[in-house]
Structure 1
């Protein structure tokens, strides 16, 4: 897909390409080296430089990144992982993949994120890790309780699938003390077409993740080409990122400053347009520090609003149905009041870089007209709509 196709407000999300991605992929195709190789290694170096960190390990997807991070953190059967229910199901599936148990916790209704108090109230002797979700691109700051978590041997593994480029204080997400996991899927702030990345805390973790992503094999592909054998040193999975995907990521990274500005501007345009609309509360992503991934509002009668806007060609969505209400995770269901309220009220408005101010005006106008006809009243951040 190219930008000439100009997706509009009928699409909830859409990749944005800068015109150099196809050329980058073509160069890889011409090279004959399609799999994991030098282009992927260059992508890792460039991301590490962008984040201001020593190392970054590219993998096949954001889900793979979470799975590998849990493994290197030593999380396994008998362990609990504290995780918000308000996230994509991939977060929970990664926990189950290592044989651990999700301990669902509630969120702040205004941000859809956990905070340090919610996390610490859930910590127990069984807790091996905390997995905050940086929802919509907003950083989650657990610095106030990091020392206590360290003392208890609890790892912090950030699900930063939405948050590439966002900041936690003066540093980019990924430059802190957590194992951080990014997604570079088709509609993320930076896309590789498909891909992910783990930001290790130590060189030892980086080495372990590199072995794990390549079936436990110690040697790189280049090293294996010059020997008659190789060593399998550990359990492993086929989770490496291909040079084809990395080429897309490198082209995207070269323009990330433009991406960052555009996504912040879009979110602020929405916020301004929504500010006088009765019956709507915006979910705060902290755009001064974040690179927004979603634009979400809370409305009463959400399902009716969803159906009406869809019928009018407005590509609204719901991110996400709470996981503790999913059949596959019923064994760990708990009462989570804010999550359950959000699950009934959240609505994702179209949000991608192809949108113009006119598109946003159309979306907000359609939303306002329906709420006015339905007699909606303001939904306050703390109250039920």
Structure 2
């Protein structure tokens, strides 16, 4: 592992490298083949084995994963996709990219995730898909309405950008076989490829569709095209293939993932214990026994003042995320979502990655306590 002796609470998130990534990329470079190669296919196979699934399809980003999953689900113009507003804007942009309409729904204020009743209440005759966001790494259980969704032909597409490695019970997220699951392997995710994503299909037919889509609709693989004078394009497609260079990084990251899982859970629990005595601070629950946490968030009054004060102290806090239904680009889909709007005014993400030590977390929490007192948002230590 590298960088572990250089903790940094100045940044909200930060990549973590294990020390072999550069050599793996150099080896891929020396091969002279940088695009989709056997390295990419090995990464797909290793991810499938890790999750306990039959197949995994690598793409260029988490957004590309969502886009290709929506295309595989045949969502398009005239369709609605049920989605929480509390997510990164990439989720919504993927819906718009297929011509569908985002139907924003409310969140559970304790988890910032949707629950099955909220989803079911939002279903209409136009609903083509439901896109639960596994916020902060927390699993979302829609099993109670699975039969209703299946009867209506509604596809579940899990936005698991935050949730690689998390579990539904004894299975890893992505292994249920009942949802198209989309992961992001961006720079600051629990597992990084530098940039990349993955779709976990439910069936071989879905896998074939996604593979064709990521290669511009071309049926033949790169190897097959090398031995023919032509190729066949059978449908719409995009250039979404994951390069060997990115896949090489991912393979090293996967080898170290157990350490990442253990470290992230330990750090989240350390934050939980350190924050417990503070008045006026509510920790957003990620279900740490099941999740591999991607964020550590609190809800506080006077958030903007506290944010500014902590930034002034060089503490790398952030906000994940401003609700999408309040964004100018998505104004046509705006609805009144009071729980989401209140959360958007209160949430604060604390520095959370694999570099900080327990003393660093103590520094963050002490700084938060001082900022809260200055802003009038807390009376300091001690529960009411």
Q: TM-score range by the shorter chain?
A: over 0.9
Shift of 1:230: 1.3
Q: Is the 8 A contact 1:322 1:339 kept in 2?
A: yes
Per-residue Cα deviation, 1:73-111 (whole angstroms, up to 9, x for no partner): 010000000000000000000000000000000000010
- Aligned partner of residue 181 in structure 1, secondary structure: strand
Partners of 1:318 and 1:300 lie apart in 2 by 14
Per-residue Cα deviation, 1:145-182 (whole angstroms, up to 9, x for no partner): 01100001111000000000000111100001100000
Aligned to 1:167: 167
Aligned to 1:61: 61
Q: Is the 8 A contact 1:138 1:166 kept in 2?
A: yes
Shift of 1:371: 1.5
Structure 1 segment 18-167 matched on structure 2, within 5 A: 18-167=18-167
Aligned to 2:382: none
Q: Is the 8 A contact 2:265 2:288 kept in 1?
A: yes
- Aligned partner of residue 58 in structure 2, secondary structure: strand
TM-score normalised per structure 1: 0.97
Per-residue Cα deviation, 1:182-241 (whole angstroms, up to 9, x for no partner): 000000000000000000010000001000000011111111122222111211100010
Q: Does 1:11 align with 2:11?
A: yes
Per-residue Cα deviation, 1:293-316 (whole angstroms, up to 9, x for no partner): 000000100000000000000000
Partners of 1:212 and 1:54 lie apart in 2 by 19
Q: Does 1:232 align with 2:233?
A: yes
Partners of 1:201 and 1:298 lie apart in 2 by 36
Q: Is the 8 A contact 2:306 2:375 kept in 1?
A: no
Aligned to 1:244: 245
Aligned to 1:222: 223
Q: Does 1:354 align with 2:355?
A: yes
Shift of 1:7: 4.7
Q: Is the 8 A contact 1:83 1:132 kept in 2?
A: yes
Aligned to 2:260: 259
Q: Which runs of 4+ in 1 moved over 3 A?
A: none
Aligned to 1:293: 294
Shift of 1:369: 1.2
Q: Is the 8 A contact 1:88 1:320 kept in 2?
A: yes
Partners of 2:307 and 2:6 lie apart in 1 by 23
Q: Does 1:272 align with 2:273?
A: yes
Q: Superposition RMSD on alpha carbons, in Å?
A: 1.4
Q: Is the 8 A contact 1:9 1:314 kept in 2?
A: yes
Structure 2: gaps of 5 or more residues: 380-384
Partners of 1:241 and 1:258 lie apart in 2 by 25
- Aligned partner of residue 332 in structure 2, secondary structure: helix
Partners of 2:163 and 2:96 lie apart in 1 by 23
TM-score normalised per structure 2: 0.97
- Aligned partner of residue 359 in structure 1, secondary structure: helix
Q: Is the 8 A contact 1:7 1:14 kept in 2?
A: no
- Aligned partner of residue 3 in structure 1, secondary structure: coil
- Aligned partner of residue 71 in structure 1, secondary structure: helix
Structure 1: gaps of 5 or more residues: 379-385
Partners of 1:122 and 1:5 lie apart in 2 by 48
Q: Is the 8 A contact 1:193 1:245 kept in 2?
A: yes
Shift of 1:5: 8.1
Partners of 2:26 and 2:197 lie apart in 1 by 21
